[in-house]
Chains A and B, each alone.
Chain A
Amino acid sequence: MTLKFLFYASIAFVSTHAIAQPAKTLQQSIARGKVVYNQVCNSCHQADGGGVPNMNPPLIKSKWVAGDKKALINIVLNGFSEKVAIDGDYYSNSMPSQSQLTDLQIADVLTFVRNNFDNKASAILPQNVKMCRKKQ
């Protein structure tokens, strides 16, 4: 009985701890990412992620933001200047490469946008960014 209880209690302890730890790092990454966003992305994509009509696309509910990690990381590393329709509209500015940012800064800013502006997607880690840089 006591053994059983101890067993379950230890499982419960380990699992809550294991979940709480990444949740905390996630929140920290989002907080750091917000600082990067304000410094680097804000003027074009705006504080509400709404972008500028016909110029810079919104990051709100964006399939690019919430979609494939590699594609998203590559937008930030390489910039983006192609005539493609984003939700049916064309945007006539160029997005500059932000490869001067560190792996951690890129991971943080993308984790921030993936958890804001009505997006919900998994965190991006510095090692994900490093992988994409290597392939360049």
Chain B
Amino acid sequence: MKTIKLFAGLFLLLFCLSACAQPGSKSNVADGSNAGLILPKGFAAIKLADNVGKSRHIAITPQGDIYVKQLAANGNKGILLLREEKGTGRAPIIKSFGDYGGTGIAIKNGYLYASSDVDIFRYKLDDKGVVIDPAHPEKIVTGLLERHEHESKSIVLDDEGYIYTNIGAYSNSCQEQDRVKGSPGMQPCPILDSAGGIWRFRADVPNQTYATGTRYATGLRNVVGLHWNKSTNSLFVMMHGRDQLHDLFPQYYDEKQSAELPAETMYELHNGSNCGWPYMYYDQQKHQKMLAPEYGGDGVKQGGENAQDPIVAFPGHLAPNGLLFYTGTMFPEKYRNGAFIAFHGSWNRAPEKQKGYLVAFVPFKNGKPSGDWEIFANNFAGINDITSPRQAAHRPCGLAQGPDGALYVSDDVKGAIYKITYSAK
């Protein structure tokens, strides 16, 4: 009798163990693998979600829910709302809405803002941070230029009621014929009237257009990662530098130089800033602004006399798609007010190996970089030598900070959402 009871008990226990060990129900809490990422000591990562669709930028509510902007709407799933289940390390989709794909998403003063490649919308949030009327957003800005190149619109808000969006140049270097060898640069570049910069709008006025917005900064080829730095109270952006120096000007640049140049650059912007595109590019090896070869440059002549200098210059083509100034207290002191950059990973280094596919960090003190940039989170791609971008399993795109100071990273290959935490031990 006793033995039977024991057996039954053992059986139940075994059954439960095996059931719990099934992948579907297995808890996803930190197991030391860091979801495949390589991180500094003391940091841990989990994948809160995977395969949710190409995930561009992300925003976290004060309650810790995650809004994810999808590249494609796939019907009515342009925005996903994910909620972390406590203790399981998973964040299932609890809501999806929005019939437009896009990149930008931000939360400010009780509203969720999101962008397509043409318009910016906003949705009122309830006191739990959930969108009240997902089918009827307010259109804040409409009719932004979308010319099939650098068309994504990222958004960020300041504390004075303005929203900022990048309008990427529909061109590599403002040639008469884009990317055609031998085609000269247009002088002046007509693209700059309606693109190649940052535009500013009111965050609360419906149906604004170019006519009512302000061109806040110009000479920016394409910005995807941008953030409002609270410690300087100013806008910071990461610019994607130009492509194809060797393809277009083999007489001045060999394949190796073309893989490293020009820099991917960080700028601090103010109303009226000019960062010099397309007339110049920044050479991070010479620490100089160079005349673009479409405008008479040859890899030696300097240029950009009227353009401002970058704050940080990274190696070429890493494709900075996310920028975040860290204000939390979970991470060690070193990270406070510093910048995280999500590098989507290069394609324009071929035939050299591709690089990027990582999250970098730049320490800041008193609003200025206080040290060199370093790799913070690596191995999103899952392989070491990338000769073609499609080999990368994941490509970091968006960054967000949780209410507890955790760092979230989105991936736009299949749509993984990572959460990176720190605990001193």
Residues of A within 8 A of B (CB): 38-40, 42-44, 46-48, 50-56, 58, 79, 81-83, 90, 92-94, 96-98, 100
Taking a contact as CB atoms under 8 Å apart, the answer to whether B350 and A43 are in contact is: yes
Q: Which residues of B39-94 are within 8 A (CB) of A?
A: 54, 71-72
Question: Which of A54, A56, A100 is in CB contact (< 8 Å) with B180?
Answer: A100
| A94-B178 contact in complex given A43-B348, A81-B148, A83-B148, C-beta closer than 8 Å | yes
For A90, give the chain B residue with the smallest CB separation.
B72
| A46-B350 contact in complex given A53-B389, A96-B179, A100-B180, C-beta closer than 8 Å | yes
Question: Which of A42, A46, A94, A98 is in CB contact (< 8 Å) with B149?
Answer: A94
| A46-B347 contact in complex given A53-B389, A96-B179, C-beta closer than 8 Å | yes
Measured CA separation A98–B12 after assembly (Å): 70
Measured CA separation A50–B347 after assembly (Å): 11
Taking a contact as CB atoms under 8 Å apart, the answer to whether A47 and B387 are in contact is: yes
Measured CA separation A51–B179 after assembly (Å): 17
Measured CA separation A46–B347 after assembly (Å): 8
B116: interface (CB < 8 Å): no
Measured CA separation A52–B387 after assembly (Å): 11
B254: interface (CB < 8 Å): no
List 9 extra interface pairs beyond A38-B351, A47-B387, A96-B180, CB under 8 A: A46-B387, A47-B388, A48-B388, A50-B388, A54-B71, A55-B347, A94-B170, A96-B177, A100-B180
Which residues of B are found within 8 Å of A93, using beta-carbon distances?
149
Which residues of B are found within 8 Å of A100, using beta-carbon distances?
180-182
| 7 pairs, A vs B, C-beta closer than 8 Å | A39-B247, A43-B244, A46-B389, A53-B395, A82-B148, A94-B149, A97-B177
Provide the main secondary structure of the chain A interface. Answer: loop
B116 to chain A, nearest CB (A): 13
Taking a contact as CB atoms under 8 Å apart, the answer to whether A48 and B178 are in contact is: no
B41 to chain A, nearest CB (A): 33
A70 to chain B, nearest CB (A): 21
Taking a contact as CB atoms under 8 Å apart, the answer to whether A56 and B390 are in contact is: no
B345 to chain A, nearest CB (A): 10
The 6 lowest CB-CB distance pairs between A and B, nearest first, are: A96-B179, A52-B347, A46-B388, A50-B390, A96-B180, A50-B388
B268: interface (CB < 8 Å): no
B151: interface (CB < 8 Å): yes
How many chain B residues have a CB neighbour from A under 8 Å?
A: 30
B294: interface (CB < 8 Å): no
A77 to chain B, nearest CB (A): 12
Measured CA separation A47–B386 after assembly (Å): 11
B412: interface (CB < 8 Å): yes
Question: Which of A39, A56, A83 is in CB contact (< 8 Å) with B347?
Answer: A56
| A96-B350 contact in complex given A47-B387, A51-B390, A83-B148, C-beta closer than 8 Å | no
Measured CA separation A83–B177 after assembly (Å): 18
A112 to chain B, nearest CB (A): 16
Measured CA separation A79–B244 after assembly (Å): 17
Measured CA separation A55–B347 after assembly (Å): 10
Taking a contact as CB atoms under 8 Å apart, the answer to whether A52 and B151 are in contact is: no
Taking a contact as CB atoms under 8 Å apart, the answer to whether A42 and B351 are in contact is: yes
Taking a contact as CB atoms under 8 Å apart, the answer to whether A52 and B181 are in contact is: no
B114: interface (CB < 8 Å): no
Taking a contact as CB atoms under 8 Å apart, the answer to whether A92 and B181 are in contact is: no
For B258, give the chain A residue with the smallest CB separation.
A43
Question: Which of B151, B247, B391 is in CB contact (< 8 Å) with A92?
Answer: B151
Measured CA separation A10–B185 after assembly (Å): 62
Question: Which of A58, A90, A97 is in CB contact (< 8 Å) with B390?
Answer: A58
| A92-B148 contact in complex given A47-B351, A50-B388, A54-B412, C-beta closer than 8 Å | yes
B264: interface (CB < 8 Å): no
| A96-B178 contact in complex given A52-B347, A56-B347, C-beta closer than 8 Å | yes
Taking a contact as CB atoms under 8 Å apart, the answer to whether B149 and A54 are in contact is: no
Measured CA separation A29–B52 after assembly (Å): 44
Measured CA separation A123–B32 after assembly (Å): 54
Measured CA separation A92–B168 after assembly (Å): 12
B413: interface (CB < 8 Å): yes
B309: interface (CB < 8 Å): no
Measured CA separation A54–B72 after assembly (Å): 11
Measured CA separation A79–B182 after assembly (Å): 15
Q: Which residues of B329-364 are within 8 A (CB) of A?
A: 347-348, 350-351
B243: interface (CB < 8 Å): yes
Which residues of A are found within 8 Å of B71, using beta-carbon distances?
54
| A53-B413 contact in complex given A47-B387, A96-B178, C-beta closer than 8 Å | yes
Taking a contact as CB atoms under 8 Å apart, the answer to whether B389 and A43 are in contact is: no
Question: Which of B179, B244, B395 is in CB contact (< 8 Å) with A94?
Answer: B179
Taking a contact as CB atoms under 8 Å apart, the answer to whether B387 and A53 are in contact is: no
B344 to chain A, nearest CB (A): 10
